[in-house]
Amino acid sequence: MQTRMDSPEYRIPLFQQWVQQLHLDFPLLAGLFILSLSGLFVLYSASGEDIVAVQKQATRFAFGFIIMLFLAQLTPQTLRRWSPPLFIIGIILLILVILVGVEVKGAQRWLNLYFFRFQPSELMKLVAPMALAWYLADAALPPRPFKLLVSMILLAIPVVLIAIEPDLGTALLISSAGIFVLFLAGLRWRLIGGAGILLTILAWPIWQYMLRDYQKARVMTFLNPENDPLGAGYHIIQSKIAIGSGGLFGKGWLNGTQSQLDFLPERHTDFIFAVFSEEFGMIGAIMLLLLYLFLITRGLYIAAQAQDTFSRLLGGSISLTFLVYVFVNIGMVSGLLPVVGVPLPLISYGGTSIVTLLAGFGILMSIHTHRKMLSP
């Protein structure tokens, strides 16, 4: 190895050498770097030129990148071994949240760990697909009905625990992460179709008995925001105005009137995409979507290149869950979907999702950089 790398024809630039030694994937790293940097720029505008908020967010990115770097060093085998215990710990923490959690804005999502507050549901976003991948990777694929049933139950436990906090957004993300694992594991199309029909049938009872009033209100508002222009509909109306008035080229950085003049609520957190597309227009928004597309397809490619089932399932699920973030957030901000608390990945202000997302990419990097070279 040493001699080959030293030879002139195999000389690699120093930076790339570092990247390899640190088990990083350069395309992913570059994409994440551009994304987080543009995120900071938009945040500066969305927060009303609040440099402190930008610094805080940058600190979170730094922390997230460290976690990513750490996870990239672990081998997929290690991750696989740790999956069951982490899953059990996650479930225990979720139960603790319900028992002794801290309530913020009507939802009990946080555990107070004295030195910092922690959302166990965020941990679950990675641990749930890990556990499912671990469980399904043992046996041959596609999974047999019994395995499928157990997987569904394994998935349902955290989803239900999170849904009753209530945190619909995270429950949605975790269930999609789990469903992606099952889908990639070869879940039969017949079953997928059947589940779809079942869900349609169950939609009414779910609406009637499982959704909280504010969640129902959000759906109603989504269906007709003009009904409640000053209440719940205000968010959607204002964010549509922001996006729509951005036009093709946007109003320019720091020049979005909807955001700069306070018309847009939650503009530095969940609705930051409205600021982005108001100020950078459709050109900017499409470039952002292309960047996301690149990260997702790169993740999917890494999963496809993986050498074991666990890595493939986990990697694919992480990549597709990233898509769900993007689609649900932008869909909600642009009025395609009801308002669900899902941040715009790596752009929205807020700590935990950044760390979780970057941790996911750390896992992808680990999968990609720990492949055994079968052929030189």
Beta strand 107-112 pairing with 117-118? antiparallel
Nearer to another protein, 85 or 247 (CB): 247
Nearest distance, CB of residue 139 and another protein, angstroms: 6
For residues 21-32, one letter each, b for 16 or more C-beta atoms within 10 angstroms of the residue's C-beta and e for the rest, the string is eebbbeebbebb
Residue from 74, 217, 219, 241 in contact with another protein (CB under 8 A): 241
In the block, tokens 């089932």 appear at: 309
For residues 80-94, one letter each, b for 16 or more C-beta atoms within 10 angstroms of the residue's C-beta and e for the rest, the string is beebeebbeebbebb
Nearer to another protein, 295 or 355 (CB): 295
> Which residues are within 8 A (CB) of 243 and not within 5 positions of it... i.e. 6 or more apart?
273, 274, 277, 278, 285, 333, 334
Answer yes or no whether residue 257 interacts with another protein by CB under 8 A. Answer: yes
Answer yes or no whether residue 331 interacts with another protein by CB under 8 A. Answer: yes
Reduce the secondary structure of 238-292 to three states and give it as a string: HHHHHHHHHCCCCCCCCCCHHHHCCCCCCCCCCCHHHHHHHHHHHHHHHHHHHHH
d(CA 235, CA 264) in angstroms, rounded, equals 7
d(CA 168, CA 159) in angstroms, rounded, equals 9
Site string for another protein, 138-177 (x = CB under 8 A): -xxxx-----------------------------------
Nearest distance, CB of residue 10 and another protein, angstroms: 29
Answer yes or no whether residue 347 interacts with another protein by CB under 8 A. Answer: no
Residue from 126, 127, 323, 347 in contact with another protein (CB under 8 A): 323
Nearer to another protein, 140 or 160 (CB): 140
Q: To the nearest 10°, the Cα dihedral for 88, 93, 94, 95?
A: 90
Nearer to another protein, 10 or 249 (CB): 249
Answer yes or no whether residue 100 interacts with another protein by CB under 8 A. Answer: no
Nearest distance, CB of residue 74 and another protein, angstroms: 22
Scan residues 284-303 and list those touching another protein (CB under 8 A).
285-286, 289, 292-293, 296-297, 300, 303
Scan residues 197-216 and list those touching another protein (CB under 8 A).
none
Q: 46, 280 in Cβ contact below 8 A? A: no
- For residue 372 the two structure tokens come to 């055994």
Residues that bind another protein (CB under 8 A): 139-142, 180, 183-184, 186, 238, 240-248, 257-258, 260-263, 277, 281-282, 285-286, 289, 292-293, 296-297, 300, 303-304, 309, 312, 316, 320, 323, 326-327, 330-331, 334-336
